[in-house]
Amino acid sequence: MTSIARSHAEQLDAADPLAHFRDRYLPHGDDVIAYLDGNSLGRPIRAVRDAWLDLADHQWGERLIRSWTDGPGGGWMDLPEQVGDELAAAMLGAAPGQTIIADSTTINFYKALRAALALRPDRRVIVMDRDNFPTDRFVAESIASELDYEIRWMPSNFAEPIDDDVAVLTASHIAYRSGYVADVAEITARAHDAGAVVVWDLCHSVGVFPAQLDAWQVDFAVGCTYKFVGGGPGAPAFVYAATRHHGQLRQPLWGWLGRRDPFEMEQGYLPAAGIRSMMSGTPTIPGILAVRAGTALIAEAGIEAIRAKSVALTEMVIDLYDAVLAPLGFDLGSPRESRRRGGHVTIHRSDARELTRAIIDRGVIPDFRTPDGIRLGLSPLPGSFGEVWDAVEIIRQIGAA
């Protein structure tokens, strides 16, 4: 048994001000003891099911095509901007009119990176780190190959100087492997001092870590909504573009809904005003409604309260790691300092791949990341301290076998 009693976890659950939010999620199967993969796919929210039933029975079933333009707030056609503003207010620290829900993270990252590069047409260098998420690296490499840009690889802390050849610096707010939290404000300021534009990936922070995109002077940001926001598998992503760039926004995927007055069906592309110009094709209405439900839940709980519980959950994991996992040959792959740690804790061992399969067979669902990492994703709203204790105890048992 661990040296930290389970009764301590029970006491933390009893004092948890967010404990009642667990009932707002659908129950998982009886074969699951602990779900620690919310940083890959969040658990389903009851309100999402309700929203989808209303969509099927009323909005689509009764109103049919009229729902595109008729309904509370203007209908489906206005949802990308409306829900974008709701998400921005709840967790991005961004004023209205700068965020839209559309497409996938990969597509939005491509559009944002191309739009950022267009703001610096005389520069030919993209700066990023090699440990960034694969889709970001691949998109940047495809653009560099297609348009003859240079990619300059830097350490994850971006400590090296940024010179006046750099058009864009792009990085992740929270590293997908380690959970390391980048200093967005400081890195953005250094990039701006060199005349570069920044594009931030918020996939592992949105919904669990408060952002201040406006205050940090971020130029562009993208992120998914199927992790901590709870929009469900394949939920549409968001893209943020600061108001100061709206008069010069040039994104490459010219779709009909990014055009001014799309229903006029006129010849030639004239971009819509503001953030709407970052749209391309028809929005995914079921996905956006799910994002709205998840956003409302986060707004009700409060992103600062969510962050406080996230810190407490990850600290408990690290305390348990020190007590029972480190002696079994595990290594800690996440920062100990809470202000530099996001919503997951990664532990390493050479046999992590095999261990993960055995852990899942015992009812604990973490996330394996090559070559030897086990990520424990702590979702503050549906998660509990008791669940975390039980998970680490099973990991200890399997690791000691």
Q: Which residues are catalytic?
A: 133, 201, 226-227, 375
Distance between CA atoms of 206 and 219, rounded to whole angstroms? Answer: 17
- Number of other CB atoms surrounding residue 242 within 10 Å: 19
> Which three-class secondary structure state does DSSP give residue 25?
strand
Distance between CA atoms of 382 and 25, rounded to whole angstroms? Answer: 7
Going by C-alpha positions, the residue among 340, 347, 346 that lies closest to residue 311 is 340
Angle at 200 between CA 231 and CA 204, to 5 degrees: 40
> Which helix (H) or strand (E) covers residue 370, if one does?
none
Provide CB contacts within 8 A for 128, sequence distance 6+: 136, 137, 140, 151, 152, 153, 154, 169, 170, 171
Distance between CA atoms of 222 and 170, rounded to whole angstroms? Answer: 11
| Residue whose pair of structure tokens reads 């079933």 in the numeric block | 61
Residue 239 contacts residue 100 (beta carbons within 8 Å): yes
Sign of CA dihedral 165, 168, 173, 175: negative
Tokens of 133: 């998420």
| Residue whose pair of structure tokens reads 């007590």 in the numeric block | 323
Please provide the DSSP assignment of 124-138 as one string. Answer: -EEEEETTS-HHHHH
Per-residue exposure over 6-16, b if at least 16 CB sit within 10 Å of its own CB, e if not: eeebeebbeeb
